[in-house]
Amino acid sequence: MGASRIKQIKIYTGKCFRVFVNEKGWKTFISAAIITLIISSVTSSDMFAEYGATRNGAFALVCACIWIGLFNSIQSICRERDIIKREYRSGLHISSYITAHMLFELFLCAVESVIVTLIIGFANMGNLPKSGVLLPALLELMITFFLIIYSSDALGIMVSSIVKTPNTAMTVMPFVLIIQLVMSGMIFELKGLTEQIAKLTISKWSLNAIGITANLNAMENFEPAFLSDYAYTISNMVQMWLILILFTLIYGVISIISLRFVDRDKR
């Protein structure tokens, strides 16, 4: 395979879309809709109106988005590991391969974020604020949902690039998810080391982003301890988005680095 990196990206992106069509990948959209509908059915009617209900609902939404993203890609690389090894020896550029997957997953996550946003918007149309800190609230939430799902998807690609089998990937997945949920700061109060670890999770910054759009600090019964996290400013929102984008890029780079060692597999 003597093709250039750009040409390889086109080839493997096309392959991803063909696999998506042939394996009826649209079912993942149904799964995302069902998960969001379940979340919407159990969140309080005070979502986006009262502090506690909104914060709890935001946590449930973050959990759902992280699950959707991880499930998209957790097996996508490791199930092709033998093929990657063979083609790597024939001239495959690992960076092109991972980039192709990231481009395909970007499409997948974009559609899923629209689905999540439409359901959440319809379920909470009575309380949903008309405007966020930077954009219309629904559009702002859609961007946040997309970044949560896409960064989680990139995390799944990273795990899938490191492990060697789909079974191992599915074994690791619950632990990855649990770390995201426990370290979000929603369930437990984090101090010291755990507070620093939380800064490395997608969930912490995702909760903050939703809280900013909802303007939690202006709601009834807000807790001053979280005032700085939910500061209703453009700079704070942009910071949350940039952190999620940074996570996505870091996971992609780690995926490329780890997959370069595929030729050392002993299987």
Q: Give percent above pLDDT 70 in the chain.
A: 93
Give the tens place of pLDDT for each residue, 241-265. Answer: 999 999 999 999 999 999 988 766 6
pLDDT digit string, tens, across residues 86-118: 888 888 899 999 999 999 999 999 999 999 999
How confident is residue 128, by pLDDT bands cut at 50, 70 and 90? confident
| Single pTM value for the model | 0.92
Q: How far is C-alpha 92 from the geometric centre of its chain's CA atoms?
A: 27
Other CB atoms within 10 A of residue 35 CB: 21
| Residue 41, pLDDT score | 87
pLDDT tens for each residue of 196-224: 888 899 999 999 999 999 988 887 665 55
Taking residues 53-77, report their average pLDDT: 92
Q: Rounded to an integer, what distance in angstroms lies between the CA atom of residue 209 and that of residue 242?
A: 11
Torsion of CA 123, 125, 128, 134, to 10 degrees: 110
5-44 tens-digit pLDDT: 899 999 999 999 999 999 888 899 999 999 999 998 888 6
CB contact burial 55-94 (16+ within 10 A = b; e otherwise)? bbbbbbbbbbbbbbbbbbbbbbbbebbeebbebbeeebbb
pLDDT digits (tens, 9 = 90+) for 133-142: 999 999 999 9
| 44 burial type by CB count under 10 A (0-12 exposed, 13-18 middle, 19+ buried) | middle
Q: What is the pLDDT of residue 267?
A: 46
Task: Report pLDDT digits (tens) over 169-203.
Answer: 999 999 999 989 888 777 677 778 888 888 899 99
Give yes or no for residue 148 having a pLDDT over 90: yes
